[in-house]
Amino acid sequence: MARGLMKRTVCAKSIFELWGHGRSSGELYASLKSYPVDKMLPYLQSDSTYKINIHTFNKTLTQAEKIKKIDALEFLPFNGKVNLKNPEHVFWILEDYGMDPNNVPEEPIDLYFGRWIADGQRELIESYSVKKRHFIGNTSMDACLSFIMANHGRVKPNDVVFDPFVGTGGLLISSAHFGAYVCGTDIDYNTIHGLGKASRKNQKWRGPDENIRANLRQYGLEKYYLDALVSDSSKTIWRKGMLFDVIITDPPYGIREATRRTGSQKETVKSAERSTENHIFISSSYHLSDIFFDLLKFAAEYLVMGGRLVYWLPIYRPEYTEEIIPRHPCLKLISNCEQMLSSQTSRRLITMEKVKEFKSCLYRGEIGNGSSSAGTMMWARSSLCKLSQEITA
């Protein structure tokens, strides 16, 4: 189970079976001596090989100091042979010297000794780094956060994962890495087709092969790519029925990416854009509160039972309470995690799971623990307006 967990997480570096812990060397040795010998023996047999590593946090030890600390563990019944290159069992001494690099204590604050079980997937952060990605946009999701979102969604092989605000497809890549088939929609014709101005520094226009498919191809994941469509998320294009195992998305907040939906000449027109292929559309304002209400309704209708919705919700911190998290009677709130942006603003990673079949109901009257839709909408508009002003400033 521990190894299975570490095959997915990008948050943890390693996991160990803890044999001893103390706030001094004496306490650590006493703790090790009290650890049940029968739990140690399977890894200390004479026909086995092992090595001992040392990791110090906030301090660097000399090689002589490391050897001295390893030799001090001679009381442990190691009967196997030392093999530094390819050992069967690896043991670690972990020493914590605190958080202040300007005030490092002589002795560690905490000491641990244990058997290494597995490493996490931290290397994925570097190998999938946005800096090395072929096709990026102004708001391409950080690789670490993308994998965290995929894990919150419990993405697994052969799932169908959908992003209704797909942009440059950063969230699809992490899901495809775990073997899911991915697709998305976006209202921006130029982004879907890889046209227009480039987001990369010192590059004026996007190249001929800058698109979502090219990104997946870059990582050897093209076989998991279904399609990306130009579509307005407020006007569903899908047939009725449950289609998606997971919906993972980062809706536009209106700061670095515009919030918009298709409209008519009679509505307040925000922009009229023309692409290099003479594609014209009219768009009107799409308020953030409406985006999230529509997103939850869409997830309730198109997720399979037990499927998950994972999305980011921007928050004005002075007025935040958990009651304002958008709700839907078909969706259960699983987790609510905060990422700080400033003292006044943050965004929360919301994970919800479908627990009831979708029914045509007065959706907006049932959100926010029974609060009225008008009250919730009024709060959302006020809070998100302040959020926009704070981020812009």
- pLDDT tens readout for residues 124-156: 999 999 998 888 877 789 999 999 999 999 999
Contact 198, 190 (CB under 8 A): no
Q: Per-residue confidence at 186, pLDDT binned at 50, 70, 90?
A: very high
Calpha distance 372→378 (Å, rounded): 10
Q: Is the pLDDT reported for residue 260 higher than 80?
A: no
What pLDDT score was predicted for residue 384?
Answer: 55
Cα atoms in the 13 Å half-sphere on the side-chain side of 63: 0
pLDDT at 376: 44
pLDDT at residue 300, rounded to an integer:
94
Model pLDDT, residue 32: 97
Amino acid at the residue 207: G
| pLDDT band of 390, cuts 50, 70, 90 | low
Mean predicted confidence (pLDDT) in 372-383: 47
pLDDT of the residue at 272: 44
DSSP assignment, residue 132? G
pLDDT tens-place string over residues 39-78? 999 999 999 999 999 999 999 999 999 999 999 999 999 9
Which pLDDT score is estimated for 363? 45
**Taking residues 227-237, what's their average pLDDT?**
90
Q: How many CB atoms lie within 10 A of CB 192?
A: 22
Q: Find the helix or strand (DSSP H, E) in which 246 lies.
A: strand 244-249
State how beta strands 160-163 and 244-249 pair: parallel
DSSP class of residue 239?
P
Confidence at residue 210, expressed as pLDDT on a 0 to 100 scale: 86
Of 77-81, 133-137, 248-252, 368-372, the poorest mean pLDDT is in 368-372
Q: Would you say residue 168 has pLDDT above 70?
A: yes
Least confident range of 48-57, 195-204, 210-219, 335-344: 195-204
Q: Say how far apart CA 212 and CA 135 lie, in whole Å.
A: 7
Alpha carbons within 13 A on the beta-carbon side of 150: 32
Distance, in Å, from the CA atom of 204 to the CA atom of 18, rounded to the nearest integer, reads: 54
